[in-house]
Chains A and B, each alone.
Chain A
Amino acid sequence: MNLLIDHLEDCSTPNYFSFAIRCEVCGEFWYSNSIPFSKAGQVTDYVDKKELYDVLYQKEKQRAQLAAAKEAREHFSQCPICRRLVCDSCFLICDEMDMCKECATRMKEAGEPVIP
């Protein structure tokens, strides 16, 4: 979980929270479900309220980050050999041990990707 959180890239905007993880083998990004900021689009002139919104934003962002990590858990695995984070289409289920595509090529292992 922490590993995933560390790899999450923040793509959030003031209106919504979105995180991405890049597969370290194919380089393709996976994007988490965007979660809108609850106060998105609400503009306030009061400094106090602005600060309150900022705090709220940070709080929601953290929650969204957790949610994104949870979501990413569905799609990303860690290659036990190279210790990289790889997406399901780059993660092969081999006879002995599951590993990423590149490791499999290097070690000349045959395997089947989790998602073809």
Chain B
Amino acid sequence: MKARIISIVLLLGLLFSGCTISRETRYLIVNVEGLEEYSKTLQDYLAGYEMGITTDTIYAEVAKGNAVACFDVQAIPAINQGVANYWYPHALSTVVIAVDRTQTDAVITGWKSLLDSKEIVGISSNSIIRDMLVMGSISYGLDPISPSKDDVLNLLKELENNDRFMLEDSKSPILLCLDHEVVAWNKAGSNYEIIVPKEGTLSFQVGLLSDIPLTIDEGFDDALLAAELPLANGSYPKQYPEGYQSAHKLSDEDYKWFLNVTDDCSRDLRRKVFKSRLYTTADLREHILFAIGIIAAILLWKGTVYHRMIRPNVSKVVSILCWLMVGWIMLRLFKYQLVTENELSRLCWYGYYIFQLALPVTLLYLTEIMDQAEDGSHSLNFMYIPFTIYILSVLLVLTNDWHQLVFIFDPNGNWAKDYSYGIGYWFIMIFFVLIFILAIIKLFCKGRRSNYVKAKVLLLLLCGLLFLYIIGYIYRVPLAWESDITIFICVIAVIFFETVLHTGLIPVNIQYQRLFANAPIGLSLLDDKGNMVLSSKGTPPISRSIWKRLCIDMDKPLLRDNDTQLHAISIHGGIAVWQENLAVLNRIRKEIKEVQIRLETANALLKEEEEVKKRLLQAETNRKLFEHLERDMESRINALVELVDGQSQIKQANESIALIILCLCHIKRRCNLFFLACQGNKLLGEELSVYLDELIELASYDGLKVLIRCGQSGFIGINNATICYDFAFETITWALKDTASVLMGYLENDDGCLMFRFLPGSDPNKWYFSDELIAGISKANGNIVYKDLDDAIGICLVLPLGGEIDG
């Protein structure tokens, strides 16, 4: 399959380039009109050469080894310059005036008489060399001594001023042409009168130019004469009027002035004679130089725009715009290179519309996107309408040859000139002017919001320029009417774009990127796909997972690592992320933590110390208590010893024993009570009653009947209980000492006071209570009262309860 394609491509290539044809055969090239007869005759006498027509320059053909039929003005300078080697002059051509006698009977005698007649004067040929021959001949005729270009141009200008001069026109009544051409026409039935200008004219030699020597067969001169061509030696065929003879032939010095006069003749004819399209390029050299210049300027401008602005979609528009303009100019240049006006050049002409029509659509698109965000989600849908119109219009233009809706051609005429515009053309033009106007209106509306004065000035400038151009065009001001409309459209497009740039709706900043990259802000911009667009120096890249997380929740800052926190906000077409350095904060936090820990340990130490102190204090207290107890016990034991010592003298043994036991019991209970007091505990009334019962029990062994009723229930303060207990003990002891038999006691809570009443069987007045007890009672604000009852005396201990019980 591939081989087939390649072979087809090769075949096509060969077809178009013709490079397969081996250069065995050489060609006889004729590119100039009027030499056909000569070359036709020559063909039979020049062996090994075939007729050929090319569009290349004759010198290129000569270099290829071909023989070229040309005039001496082409050949001699080439020989002098060494471009070609051999020149064989054969025939002679004289520039004459031919008057069509079927059209006019005007009287023409010479160059100047052309001005007097009223007929149109034309140059029949469309090759430049023929124009050059005519111009050279006229200049020689007007001033044979020093021919000058100005004379010719003035003459032609005067003709043109009366609208009587035409190029490439073979139907004019008066033609400036070569003599043998006229003879040939007359032979074909026309009725031309040959007039050799009386001022003089030039005869040019016609011959062959070649790089290699040529051999021309015998009898060629006769053949030329038979073909009614004059010979280079001056002999004329008999068909020529009698007495006809050749005019001045150019000599070697003449070529110099001839080339001076005829140099750039097509440009001079257009600029100075026809004064048409003054401000456009006139010949190929100008076309190429101008196109290169314009393309360079456009690309340069594109570069500056790219440099000035970073919005990608606008950049895209710029490059589309630039390539449209460059494409247009290149296509035009290509068309200018085509020598013949064939289908290809017509297609090129249609091709202009591809670019030309795309420009307004692009500009409209630009105005549409210029103040919108880049994400492109907004409604650009309506852009499809102009775009569709564009596509349809281009199709309509390109298919014009089918139906001729856009350009209507005359089938007989030259399509390059004889055409008129069809309805399609006007439709297309109206559409695109509307699109352009829409773009301008949009620009106006959007530019109104701009704060820049420059924007408004540029906008007005643009509109002013357009207005001036249109006015100029309508009133045929040469600068507008005869300038290159392509270039003007390009300039308008560029100014339009500049205006858009300067409205301030597109951010323009040359140093934006560099500034951003060098700013120590720790900021990065990401596009909507998470790619880094811009990033300031030293910013580490944002990983994918972080970007995803940021997109979900922008409000919450995010830790990149422990020392970096990221914040993000949403911007057009992406997010901006900046970093916060938490290193310092973290350090401080760490320090605070350390200090706290230190403090806590200190606190713990202090607490422990306190504890120890407390424990020491406790031990001290205990020690003191025991000392006190020891002392107390000692005194009591001493008292007991005393008692025992005393008793043993007085009483019997069992009494003494009972007393001693009583005392011991007392000591024991007293110790109990002491510890209780130390602990600050309270004593239940019932427990006290049990203690008292104990004493009663012991006393009963000594024969003392004691009855104590304890009416106190609930808690009693330990001091009061101790006092009550001591009081009971001492009372019982006394009762024993008195050998009383009965003792009654009653403990009750009466009216806020604790009352302990005893009714002894003996006289208690002799009793005295120990100092310790008395001190204890007085300390508790109590007292001992004796009450004289009828038959006995009662002892009553009153102890105020007060806070004592509660406390």
- Please give the residue numbers on chain A whose beta carbons come within 8 Å of chain B beta carbons, in ascending order: 11, 13, 15-16, 18, 20, 22, 26-34, 75
Contacts and interface: CB of A to CB of B under 8 A. Distances in A.
Interface string B546-590: 101100110010111111000000000000000000000000000
Contacts of B543: 28, 30
Contact of A22 (B545, B548, B562): B562
A105 B425 CA distance: 78
Give the 5 A-B CB pairs with smallest separation, nearest first: A27-B561, A31-B549, A34-B552, A28-B561, A31-B545
Contacts of A15: 553
Given A13-B556, A28-B543, A30-B543, A22 B549 contact: no
20 contacts: A13-B556, A18-B549, A22-B561, A22-B562, A26-B561, A27-B562, A27-B563, A28-B543, A28-B560, A28-B561, A29-B546, A29-B558, A29-B559, A30-B543, A31-B558, A32-B545, A33-B548, A34-B552, A34-B553, A75-B545
A13 to B, nearest CB: 7
Interface in B132-189: none
A31 B553 contact: no
A16 B561 contact: no
A34 B550 CA distance: 10
A16 B545 CA distance: 15
Nearest to A72: B545
Interface of B: 543, 545-546, 548-549, 552-553, 556, 558-563
A27 to B, nearest CB: 4
Contacts of A13: 553, 556
Contacts of B546: 29-31
A75 B82 CA distance: 79
Contacts of B548: 31, 33-34
A32 B553 CA distance: 13
Contact of B552 (A16, A26, A29, A75): A16
Contacts of A28: 543, 560-561
A31 to B, nearest CB: 4
Nearest to A29: B559
A73 to B, nearest CB: 13
By secondary structure, the A interface counts as: loop
A30 B544 CA distance: 9
Nearest to A34: B552
A17 B546 CA distance: 14
A3 to B, nearest CB: 19
A37 to B, nearest CB: 12
A20 B558 CA distance: 10
Nearest to B556: A13
Contacts of B559: 20, 29
Task: Give the residue among A11, A31, A32, A75 with the most B Cβ atoms within 10 A.
Answer: A31
A29 B561 contact: yes
B25 to A, nearest CB: 67
B539 to A, nearest CB: 14
A26 B543 CA distance: 13
Task: Give the residue among B556, B558, B559, B562 with the most A Cβ atoms within 10 A.
Answer: B559
Nearest to A18: B549
B540 to A, nearest CB: 9
Contacts of A33: 545, 548-549
A16 B558 contact: no
Nearest to A32: B545
A11 B562 CA distance: 14
B622 to A, nearest CB: 54
A18 B560 CA distance: 14
A111 B443 CA distance: 60
A33 B558 CA distance: 14
Nearest to B548: A33
Contacts of A30: 543, 545-546
Contacts of B562: 22, 27
Nearest to B552: A34
B495 to A, nearest CB: 50
A20 B774 CA distance: 83
A28 B731 CA distance: 92
Contacts of A20: 559
B553 A29 contact: no
Nearest to B550: A31
Contacts of A31: 545-546, 548-549, 558
Nearest to A20: B559
Given A31-B548, A32-B545, A34-B548, A16 B560 contact: no
B553 A16 contact: yes
B8 to A, nearest CB: 49
Contact of B549 (A26, A27, A34, A75): A34
Contacts of B560: 28-29
B78 to A, nearest CB: 69
A1 B42 CA distance: 100
Given A18-B553, A29-B561, 10 more contacts: A11-B558, A13-B553, A13-B556, A22-B562, A28-B561, A29-B558, A30-B543, A30-B545, A31-B548, A33-B548
B471 to A, nearest CB: 65
Nearest to A31: B549
A26 B562 CA distance: 10
Contacts of B556: 13
B566 to A, nearest CB: 10
Nearest to A23: B561
A71 B199 CA distance: 104
B542 to A, nearest CB: 11
A32 B548 CA distance: 9
A31 B556 CA distance: 13
Nearest to A71: B545
Nearest to B561: A27
Nearest to B547: A31
A53 to B, nearest CB: 20
A13 B556 CA distance: 9
Contacts of A34: 548-549, 552-553
Task: Give the residue among B543, B546, B558, B560 with the most A Cβ atoms within 10 A.
Answer: B543
Contacts of A29: 546, 558-561
Nearest to A27: B561
Contacts of B552: 16, 18, 34
A16 B554 CA distance: 13
Nearest to A28: B561
Contacts of A22: 561-562
Contacts of B549: 18, 31-34
Contacts of A26: 561
B565 to A, nearest CB: 10
